[in-house]
Chains A and B, each alone.
Chain A
Amino acid sequence: MKRLLETRNINKYFKKPVLFHVLRDINFKVEPGEFVSIMGKSGCGKSTLLYILSTMDTDYEGELWLNDQLITGQASNELSRIRNEHIGFVFQFHYLLPEFTVLENVMLPARKLARKDLPEIEHDAIEKLRILGIEGLAMKKASRISGGEKQRVAIARSLINEPMIIMGDEPTGNLDTYNSEIVFNIFRELSNDQGLSLLVVTHDEDFAAKTDRIIRMEDGKILD
Chain B
Amino acid sequence: MTNWNLILSIARTHLLSKFRQTAIAALGVTFGIGSYISLVGFMTGLNQMLDSLILNQTPHVHIYNEIQASEDQPADLFSEFENSLKMIHSIKPRQTQKKIHNALPIIDLIEKEEPVLAAIPQVKTQIFYISGSIELGGNLTGIDAMQEVRYFNFGDYLIEGEPQSLENVDNAIFLGAGVAKKLAISIGDRLQISTVKGGSFPLKVAGIFQSGIADLDNIQSFASIKTVQRILGEPENYITDINVKLKDIDYAPILANKIQEQFRLEAVDINTANAQFETGSTIRNLITYAVSITLLIVAGFGIYNILNMLIYEKMNDIAILKATGFSGKDVQMIFMSQAMLIGFIGGLLGLLIGYILSRVIDNIPFQTEALPTIKTYPINYDPWFYLIGIGFALISTFLAGYLPSHRAKKIDPVDIIRRQ
Query: A residues near B, CB below 8 A?
Result: 47, 51, 54, 56-57, 76-77, 80-85, 89, 91-93, 95-100, 104, 108-109, 111-114, 157, 169
Contact = CB atoms under 8 A, between A and B. Distances in A.
Interface residues of B, number: 28
A76 B328 contact: yes
A93 to B, nearest CB: 5
Interface in B317-333: 317, 319-330
Given A56-B323, A56-B413, A89-B323, A97 B317 contact: yes
Interface string B306-350: 000000000011011111111111100000000000000000000
Contact of A92 (B3, B5, B325, B420): B420
Contact of B323 (A95, A100, A111, A114): A95
Contact of B324 (A76, A83, A104, A114): A83
A176 B274 CA distance: 87
A49 to B, nearest CB: 12
A193 B286 CA distance: 74
B418 A89 contact: no
B323 A54 contact: yes
B226 interface: no
A83 B323 contact: yes
A95 B316 contact: yes
Given A95-B316, A99-B13, A99-B17, A51 B414 contact: yes
Contact of B417 (A51, A97, A114): A51
Contact of A109 (B10, B17, B324, B327): B324
A167 to B, nearest CB: 10
A93 B412 CA distance: 17
A112 B320 contact: no
B417 A112 contact: no
Interface of B: 3, 5-6, 10, 13-14, 16-17, 316-317, 319-330, 412-414, 417-418, 420
Q: Is the interface of B mostly helix, strand, loop or mixed?
A: helix
Given A56-B413, A97-B320, A111-B3, A80 B327 contact: yes
Residue of A54, A95, A109 with most partner-chain B CB within 10 A: A95
B203 to A, nearest CB: 83
Given A95-B319, A95-B320, A112-B6, A84 B325 contact: yes
A54 B319 CA distance: 13
Given A47-B418, A51-B414, A112 B326 contact: yes
A169 B420 CA distance: 12
A80 B322 contact: yes
A99 B324 CA distance: 17
B330 A112 contact: yes
Nearest to B328: A76
B324 A84 contact: yes
Contacts of B417: 51, 91, 95, 169
B22 to A, nearest CB: 12
B312 to A, nearest CB: 15
Residue of A82, A97, A111 with most partner-chain B CB within 10 A: A97
Closest 4 CB pairs of A and B: A84-B325, A99-B17, A80-B327, A95-B320
Given A51-B417, A95-B316, A112-B6, A89 B324 contact: yes
Contacts of A111: 3, 5-6
Given A57-B414, A111-B6, A93 B324 contact: no
A211 B50 CA distance: 88
A95 B323 CA distance: 10
A36 B322 CA distance: 24
A221 B38 CA distance: 70
Contact of A80 (B316, B320, B325, B414): B325
Contacts of A114: 3, 6
25 contacts: A51-B417, A51-B418, A56-B412, A80-B322, A80-B327, A80-B330, A82-B325, A84-B324, A84-B325, A84-B326, A85-B325, A91-B323, A91-B417, A92-B420, A97-B10, A97-B320, A99-B13, A99-B14, A100-B13, A104-B13, A111-B3, A111-B6, A112-B3, A112-B325, A114-B3
Contacts of B3: 111-112, 114
Given A111-B3, A114-B3, A80 B326 contact: yes
A76 B17 contact: no
A54 B325 CA distance: 11
A212 B297 CA distance: 61
Contacts of B324: 83-84, 89, 108-109, 112, 157
Contacts of A98: 317
Contacts of B317: 97-98
B323 A77 contact: no
A108 B16 CA distance: 18
